Each structure stands twice: as structure tokens, then as C-alpha cells.
Amino acid sequence: MRISHFFLYILGLVLILPACEPSEQPSTPSFSERRNLERTDNAEIESKIDQLLAEMTLEEKIGQMMQINNSEYSLSENRGTHFGAPPDVQVSIDTTKLITFIEKYKIGSFLNGVAVSKERWRDYSQQLQEVNMRYNRLKIPIIYGVDHMHGANYLENSTIFPHSINIAATFRTQFSTDEAVAVGQETAAIGHHWIFCPVVDLGANPVWPRFYETYGEDPYLSSVMGAAYVKGLQDNVNTAPYRQAATAKHFIGYSDPDNGWDRTPADISDQRLQEFFVPPFQALVDAGIKSFMINGGEVSGIPVHASYELLTALLRDQMGFKGVVVTDWEDVVRLHSQHKVAKDMKEATYKAVMAGIDMSMTPYTTNFFDALKELVEEGRVPLERIDLSVARVLRLKLELGLFEDPYPVQTNPPATRSEENVKNALEAARESLVLIKNEGILPLAKDTRKLVVAGMNADSKRGLSGGWTLRWIPDSDDLFPSYVPTVFSALKKEFDQTQVELATAADIASKATNADAIILAVGEEPYSETPGNIYDMNLDKDQQDLIKRAQATGKPVILIMVAGRPRLVTELLPETGAFLWAGLPGFEGGTAIAEVLSGKVNPSGKMPFTYPAFVSHWYPYNHKNMERFFSHADSMNTIAGFGHGLSYTSFSYTDLKLDKSQITGQESTTASITITNTGNRAGKESVLWFVKDEVGTVTRPVRALKHFEKITLQPGESKTLTFEVNPHEDLSYPSKSGEKVLEPGDFKVICGGLEKAFVLN
Ligand code: BGC
């Protein structure tokens, strides 16, 4: 937390209202006062908003608060673009249906897609906007939303980066920026205005099926990775005149459901929410993110879409967010249909709007329109409340330049998969692979005669890329371009002098007889959201059986985990020679894996989460002291701790020093450490700095990441790095209402296994 935010927090404290039903909330400040507070210093934009609001009818205003899925006006009869019709039909327009949405319901936003060509996207966006401009009385442009989650995944022939869990493992924020820049270059000009990324939900529950969309379990790592994405997307002047908005997902508490399943209840104490879940979202607000999407689940008994406390008191008043809040999929109606906190759709609409949503991703129906209209006409929802949201939506459209030119590029869309973008995606994949265990087997010898390759992800393109690739859930490799390698095809290329053979469980024993090693790429099939719910974190029986068969051959076994979350193989690891966590490394992942196995690339990824050993016992690295009181040592509870990752060289950490061992809250102390490459090949090392607060009124984590830096060292080379410990940013923690608490006492700075104590007076 930066010092400037301290004051915001204090201000937030004063403004936070007690929790109660949205219906009882007198907004403080009032809706029109809020609207004034949110005015920017761009006088032209603000006066255009005033002018439009003065001219718009109630229906036109409500239409701007709605977002409809593209399936509802496509030529397909199939509901949703997630499944069903072929892509060309999904990204197509039934003009009669579209005109109804625009003329009758004044809809201001649409969403969704699948991977079609950039020309098709351009023509689609052109047609959509043309119809809108003809039938929208005030010529308010459409804003179009797309889930580009790891590169431009809903565009044919695009650059597909590793998923965020891998980006986090690189410990290089530049890759997050590179990913966003590639999305901008490839999609800003074809009408993708609003990108539903990044996800800064904390990777708090490894069972949760959206774990791979997160930057792992640490709030600081998530904060800096997410902020780097926002900068790369929103501040990219090279896409001019086209601009894009990023979206902070999914505010808040989504990622720690009690039972691990998607959109199920989470019980999170206010203090824990403030300390671990708020900071990544706060970092995105500070980076200037233009929109937030809301968690469809409940936190501590209240669905977030109905929570004034979270959507207004926390997000607006404490965190200072001024942009657009969009609901997630169908989440207004679900207040009635699923959560049962509203007796009907009208009450659900009332609750969501009064809690603080600006736009409803309805996404199939227009019932939000009728419900909200009635509520305003009855005087239950004040017009000022509507104006507040519409002003935010209009500001977003104006800031993106949509009023100046709502149309996509009129010539050829920009090239995709530029050399630079693909190079960045490949480099990100390389640096994201974490070598968890290596008993001298890797890198494989140059004169390896035969390699046997097996496992469900050995020859799978979709396995490497996971969900949100070309489709919501890519269920066939036939969808993928021919140039995307699998682990097997990349190994054949990398080891072109070696016999590389694919095996199954049935023939692995016979094929391995004259092999030097067996490579098993195990893991998961792609999934997104609810279809990714699991009953058991253990790798399934068939895959475990394959591993056992491979081990029974007596040949060295190299196990590669290609999965969106940690699947457990604990009992099989002692007999495994090398274990590589590959996560979901994307289109370039096969190449990156083969290069790490051959030694062309020296692995440098580090775990962005704790890889648990047991199904029923996991805790993050930044757990509380008491969590380990009765339990075994870390090494027994986890397969790999946060920050673990082997290299083909070795690094030593020496000379940890602090320039002051006593400081006051107004001073900082600078820590320094020397890292030396003590092996015989060049390598990259992520240097992680932690702080430990020895005693706190609120129980403190055993350590917390505060800073990191990745360096390259040649054999024998040393570098001295520093970290300035700033008390307000690094030693404080939030109270349950978000106020910063800085308690004098004993602290430690920890780096590379060394620690140094200091005192805050
Ligand atoms: C997901 C969001 C996504 C939205 C639009 C929802 O089901 O939770 O992450 O942005 O769909 O596709």
C-alpha cells in the first residue's frame, strides 16, 4: 500500500456506512453529489455527459445500463456463444433482432465471441455499430465486451500467452504488460472495446476451477501483475485512435468458496478481506482501471451483487473507484432465481441497482429493462441513481473515443502474431515453467537415444492452453491451428537426433525397454467456470496408473503437470526423477517445455502458490503461526512452497544487511543482499523479499511478500540488490474496516533463506 492511499483509507473509514439492506440505504454522499464528485477535469467530456443526460429519456438511460449476449441477435438459434453453433454463425447478425434491441430497448452494450478471423470481427463490429447508429436516436455508440483472458483468445491466428497463473510464476510484470499490449495490437482496431481481464481474485483455494485465471495466492504478486496488465492495455498509445478498457474481476471474495466450487458461498472475515482480497483490486483502481465486474457468489451471507457494503461503501467510498461496475453473467436475476434474496426479478433489480451496479450483463433477456423502468416510475429508484450510472457508462464510451469514431478500422486490420508478440508469449511460457524436483535427470543428455512420451496432455494442444482458448471450453484439438505444437511434437523437433515415441498405458512397458527416459505429460482437460468443479484434487486413477506403469519399467520418469490447479500425485513423487509444473503455458507452451527438457532453456519459474501434498490439508505460504502449530514441517505438507523453483545452475544468497536496525514510522530502512551464480551456466533468479511482523494485535502471517526482482547472472557473477522497507507500505496491515494499522515492535526482513531483525519504534 502506497502512502497516498493511507489518506484515502482514512477518508474511507469516515465514509463507510454500517451494513444493512440496500433498500434502507440513504446514499451518503447523495447520488447527485456522487455524480459531481466523479466528474473528471475533462470539461468537454463532462459537458457532453450533462447534455446527453438532459436529452435522454428514461428508456434510453436504462438501455445504457444493459449488456446483451451476442447470441440473442445472431443467426444461430443456439443460446449463448459458449456452445453450439459454428463460430461464423455465432459472430453474425440477425438485423431484425438487433434492431429490436436497439430501437425498443435502447441497449448500449453487447458481449462475447469465439475465435473468428480479424476481417470477420471487423465487419461484424462495423455492421453492429452501423445498425446502432441508425436506430439509436442520440447516436450513442455501442461498447462491445470480450473475454480475452490470455492474449486475444477469441481471435483466429492470434498470440496466445500462458494463463495468468503462469504469468505469475515468471515473477516478471513485463510479461503481463506484453500480454495486454498484444491484445491491444490485435483487437483494438476490430471493435473489441472492453476487455474482461485481468482477474485479480486471489488464488486462495486450489480446488476452485478458476484458479488458473488468477496470479496465485499472494496479494502483492497479484497486485503488481494486474496493474501491469492495466497499464499495457489502457495506456497503449500505439493502438491510437483505438482505445480499450480493462476490467477488474471479480469483485470480491469469489476465489475462496468454502467448498471450492464455482460461485458457491464464501465466508471471509472483514479483516481478512481487507488484508488479502482488497489490495489487488486497489492496485487496479490506482492503475486507473476503467471497469469492475462483480463476483456472482456470496460473501458472508450476502450475494455481492446485492451488497451496498461491498459495492458502494468498500469499492467506491473506501477504494475510490469511479468507473463502471458491470454485473457478471445473469447475476441480477440470480439474486432471485438462485440466491433467493429477492422475491422476484423486480426486487432483484432493485437490490442490485441500489447496492451499486451500473450495468447488468443480463445477458439473454430484457426483463431488467422493464423492472428498472417500473421501479423508477414508482419512485423507488430515484432518477439521480440512474443518472449516476449512465454518466459513468457515457464517460467510459467518451474516454475510449467511441463518440469520435465508433467504427472499427476501415482497411485491413492489424497483423496478428507479430514476431515480437509471439517472442514475448514464448519467453513468458519459458520463464513460467517451474522445476519442482530434479534428481540429476534434467536436462536430458544430448546423446539421448530414445524418449517415450505418454499422458493425456502429451499430444494435446488444448491441454496446454486450457479454458478460454478459441472457445469458452475448447473440447477438440481440431479447433487449433496446425502451427501450435504439442509436448510430443515439440520434443520431436527439439530432439531431432533422438527417437521420440508416443506410448499409451497399454504399451508403455514394451516401448520403454530400450528408452533412456519416459516423459509423462499428465493433468487436466480444459474447463472454464462451473464445468471445472471437481470432487477430488488427486489426479484421477487412470493417470496415476499410467505413472505407476512408467515407474515400474525402472526407467527415469519425468513428470510434467499440465493443469490449471495443483492436482495431487504426492505418493508417486518419490519414484519420479523430475517433476515440472507447466500450468497452462498456452500456444508456445510445447516448445517451452521441450526447451527446458533439453536444457536449451534454463528453468527460472517459481511457484506462485503453495502446491499442497494432501487433499484435506493446505494452507498458503503466508499462513498464520497457529496454522502450523500442531502439524508437520512444511516439507511434509507441501510438494512445493511458494517461491520454490529449481534451476540448472545454483545461486547463493549472502550478506543480508539493513542500513538501520531501528526506525520510526516516518523512516525507512534499506535492506541489501548479494546473489551469486555458483553454478556453471547462466541463469535467471527471482529474488523475493518478505517481511515478518513478529507480534500483532491481529494475528500476522508468518511472512508476506513485499517486493521482488528477477535478475540474470552469468556463472560466477554476483549482484547486490536492495529493497527499501517503507513502514506505511510494508509493515502496516488493515483493520476490519480498512483503516491502516501500524504497530511498533519487532520485524524481520527475509530473503533467500536469510533474515535480519529490526525494530519499529
Ligand atoms: C464469467 C466472466 C466473464 C463473463 C462474460 C461469466 O460467466 O464469470 O468472467 O467475463 O461470463 O463472458
Query: Which structural domains are found in the chain, ordered by start?
Result: 12-68+159-399 (3.20.20.300), 433-640 (3.40.50.1700), 651-760 (2.60.40.10)
At position 700, the amino acid (one-letter code) is R
pLDDT tens-digit profile of 221-267? 999 999 999 999 999 999 999 999 999 999 999 999 999 999 999 99
C-alpha 172 to ligand 1 mean position (Å): 27
Q: What is the pLDDT of residue 4?
A: 42
Instruction: Return the best residue to mutate from 154, 197, 293 for the ligand 1 pocket (most ligand atoms within 8 A of CB).
Output: 293
- The helix/strand/coil state of 102 is helix
Measure the CA–CA gap between 279 and 220, rounded to whole angstroms: 7
The atom number, within ligand 1, closest to the CA of 82 reads: 12
Measure the CA–CA gap between 336 and 346, rounded to whole angstroms: 9
∠ CA 87-93-97, rounded to 5°: 130
Mean pLDDT computed over 577-586: 98
Q: Are 561 and 579 in contact (CB under 8 A)?
A: yes
C-alpha 146 to ligand 1 mean position (Å): 9
CA atoms within 13 A on the CB side of 593: 37
How far apart are the two ends of the chain, measured CA to CA in Å?
Answer: 20
The atom number, within ligand 1, closest to the CA of 147 reads: 10
State whether the Cα torsion 628-631-637-640 is positive or negative.
positive
pLDDT tens-digit profile of 44-60? 999 999 999 999 999 99
Q: Output the average pLDDT for the chain.
A: 94
Q: How confident is the model at residue 505 (pLDDT cuts 50, 70, 90)?
A: very high
Q: What is the pLDDT of residue 15?
A: 40
The atom number, within ligand 1, closest to the CA of 199 reads: 9
Mean pLDDT computed over 397-403: 98
* Integer CA distances (angstroms), 399 to 33, 143, 194, 229, 583, in order: 22, 12, 12, 19, 37
The atom number, within ligand 1, closest to the CA of 145 reads: 5
Mean pLDDT computed over 595-611: 98
The atom number, within ligand 1, closest to the CA of 363 reads: 5
Q: Is the pLDDT of residue 594 over 70?
A: yes
Measure the CA–CA gap between 700 and 731, rounded to whole angstroms: 11
Which H helix or E strand runs over 663?
strand 662-663
Strands (E), 93-206: 109-111, 143-146, 194-195
Q: Is the pLDDT of residue 442 over 60?
A: yes
Q: What is the pLDDT of residue 632?
A: 56
Spell out which residues line ligand 1, taking CB within 6 angstroms: 111-112, 147, 196, 249, 328-329, 529
Q: How confident is the model at residue 23 (pLDDT cuts 50, 70, 90)?
A: very low
C-alpha 210 to ligand 1 mean position (Å): 11
Q: Is the pLDDT of residue 84 over 90?
A: no
Instruction: Return the best residue to mutate from 82, 326, 328 for the ligand 1 pocket (most ligand atoms within 8 A of CB).
Output: 328
Percent of the chain with pLDDT over 90: 91
C-alpha 259 to ligand 1 mean position (Å): 21
**Structure-block grid coordinates of residue 223:** 497486485
Nearest Cα to Cα of residue 247 among 326, 330, 168: 326
Q: Between the CA atoms of 485, 645, 438 and 712, what dihedral angle is there, to the nearest 10 degrees?
A: 80
Tell me the backbone φ, ψ of residue 439, rounded to 5 degrees.
Answer: -95, 55
Q: How confident is the model at residue 26 (pLDDT cuts 50, 70, 90)?
A: low
Comparing 24 with 154, the larger pLDDT belongs to: 154
C-alpha 756 to ligand 1 mean position (Å): 45
Task: List, by residue number, the catalytic residues.
Answer: 328
Mean pLDDT computed over 464-489: 97
Which H helix or E strand runs over 557?
strand 557-562
Comparing 276 with 629, the larger pLDDT belongs to: 276
Region of 300 on the Ramachandran plot (φ > 0 left; ψ -120 to 50 alpha; else beta): left
Give the contacts of 161 (CB within 8 A, at least 6 positions apart): 150, 151, 167, 175, 178, 179, 182, 424, 425, 428, 429, 586
CA-proximal residue: ligand 1, atom 2 (nearest): 328
According to DSSP, residue 648 is labeled S
Q: What is the pLDDT of residue 85?
A: 72
Q: How confident is the model at residue 547 (pLDDT cuts 50, 70, 90)?
A: very high
Mean pLDDT computed over 345-354: 98
CA atoms within 13 A on the CB side of 714: 1
Q: What is the pLDDT of residue 412?
A: 97
C-alpha 166 to ligand 1 mean position (Å): 20
Mean pLDDT computed over 630-646: 80
Comparing 79 with 17, the larger pLDDT belongs to: 79
Q: Is the pLDDT of residue 1 over 50?
A: no
Q: Are 348 and 354 in contact (CB under 8 A)?
A: no
pLDDT tens-digit profile of 656-679? 999 999 999 999 999 999 999 999
Instruction: Return the best residue to mutate from 147, 192, 294 for the ligand 1 pocket (most ligand atoms within 8 A of CB).
Output: 147
Q: Is the pLDDT of residue 19 over 80?
A: no
Q: What is the pLDDT of residue 82?
A: 47
pLDDT tens-digit profile of 149-198? 999 999 999 999 999 999 999 999 999 999 999 999 999 999 999 999 99
CA-proximal residue: ligand 1, atom 6 (nearest): 329
Q: What is the pLDDT of residue 18?
A: 41
C-alpha 329 to ligand 1 mean position (Å): 6
Q: Is the pLDDT of residue 360 over 80?
A: yes
Q: What is the pLDDT of residue 629?
A: 61
The atom number, within ligand 1, closest to the CA of 112 reads: 12
Q: Is the pLDDT of residue 507 over 70?
A: yes
Instruction: Return the best residue to mutate from 196, 255, 294 for the ligand 1 pocket (most ligand atoms within 8 A of CB).
Output: 196
CA atoms within 13 A on the CB side of 237: 0
Q: What is the pLDDT of residue 12?
A: 40
